[in-house]
Amino acid sequence: MGKIPVGQTIRHAYGFAFRRFPHILRLIWLPFAIVLVASWLMTDQIRDVSVGIATHNFAALANNWAVLLPFYFAAVILFMVQLVAVMQLALGQQGGSAFFHLSFKQPLWKLIGAYLLVAALFFAVIAVALIIILIVGIVGSAVVGFKPGIETSQGTKTVLGSIALVTLFLVYGAAIYGLVRQTFFLTPAVVSQNRVNLRQAWSLGRGNFWRMLVIALAVTLPVFALQFALYRVSGIDLVPPSLMQGDSVQQITAWYDNYFQRLHSLWFVLYPASIAFTALLLGLGCGAQVFAYRHLTCGDPDEAR
């Protein structure tokens, strides 16, 4: 399998995202606005559930799931509508009308199905990995002579800790590798062919993991950094407090109160910025994926332009 030209791919991604930025905005603004309006109307429910999850009080989730579950389900579908539209634009296919795009035709459902398959495979692998960790722990304990209820030496604790650390590192590394390799080419493969093809998406990534990872970081980190800076200037801390860090329920509640209060008071800045950041991320991601996909499948980088 060929190698992805990292520099060319990143340059093409930024060129596509900025050159076609107005067109991308026209494609995504309507589904994005629908989600924003719905989230505004359900602010209280979203806040209560967020606080409940952060404070391990799941009563709020039980009280609001009937409203929020359809909302999040619809939000995911509307995001996929935006993703398909921008990917079609990057592929040179029809990208919707001049003013908006809201299409629920194929390949939207095939793309959703493909990601559901990937999610199912991922969770299956995680389940197997947890079983392996359990077996490794049992075997490791037997090898070093660990017995429950009996004082354990410092050396035994060190060995068991090292085994657990190495195993977790391998599991997390394998998970990251699998997700990057399977998903990097998944969207262009499905949208361009209008069929689910996990095998091709996986095979195209052979020998390109580090290249795909570098490209993904290059097209996402700058946008996330800009968004983080904007929110910090707006008085919003994007890192919430946590019970695991010793923060109190009152601190967590106050953080979420401040977050939603600032979000609503500065909506005229933060909401337009959010759609702009989303347009950039989609343009950069789709531009990079299409260039790399066509380079490997067509053998000529110029085919991706």
| CA–CA dist 106, 191 (Å, integer) | 8
Give the per-residue pLDDT at 157: 61
- Per-residue pLDDT tens over the stretch 253-301: 999 999 999 999 999 999 999 999 999 999 999 999 999 999 999 865 4
Residue 146 has pLDDT above 70, yes or no: no
pLDDT computed for residue 141 by the predictor: 63
d(CA 140, CA 213) in angstroms, rounded, equals 33
Residue 86's Cβ-side half-sphere holds a number of Cα atoms within 13 Å equal to 32
Between 37-41, 56-60, 179-183, the lowest mean confidence (pLDDT) is in 56-60
CA distance 183 to 202: 8
Q: What is the mean pLDDT of residues 110-139?
A: 84
**99-116 b/e (C-beta count within 10 Å ≥ 16 → b):** eebebeeebbebbbebbe
Average pLDDT value for the chain? 86
* Domain boundaries, given as residue ranges, for the chain: 6-304
CB within 8 Å of 3: residues ≥ 6 apart: 207, 208, 211
pLDDT at 298: 83
Q: What was the pLDDT predicted at 37?
A: 94
52-87 pLDDT tens trace:
888 888 787 788 888 889 999 999 999 999 999 999
CA 156 to chain centre: 39
Q: Both ends of the chain: CA-CA distance in Å?
A: 21
Inter-CA distances, 175 with 1, 63, 75, 211, Å = 22, 34, 26, 17
Q: Do residues 85 and 28 touch, judged by C-beta distance below 8 A? A: yes
pLDDT of residue 159: 65
Percent of the chain residues past pLDDT 90, beyond the cut: 53
- Which whole number is the average pLDDT over 12-31? 95
What average pLDDT does the segment 151-178 reach? Answer: 73
Q: What integer pLDDT is reported at residue 300 of this predicted model?
A: 54
The sign one gets for the Cα dihedral 123, 124, 129, 134 is: positive
Nearest Cα residue to 6 out of 299, 214, 294 = 214
Residue type, position 132, single letter: I
**Residue 252: CB partners within 8 Å, gap ≥ 6?**
51, 54, 55, 240, 241, 242, 243
User: Is a pLDDT exceeding 70 seen at residue 152?
Assistant: no
CA distance 144 to 146: 6
The mean per-residue pLDDT over the stretch 202-210 comes to 93
For residue 239, which of 251, 250, 81 has the smallest C-alpha distance?
251
Other CB atoms closer than 10 Å to residue 252's CB: what's the count?
18
Measured in degrees and rounded to the nearest 5, phi and psi for residue 4 equal: -75, 130
- Write down the pLDDT at residue 129: 75
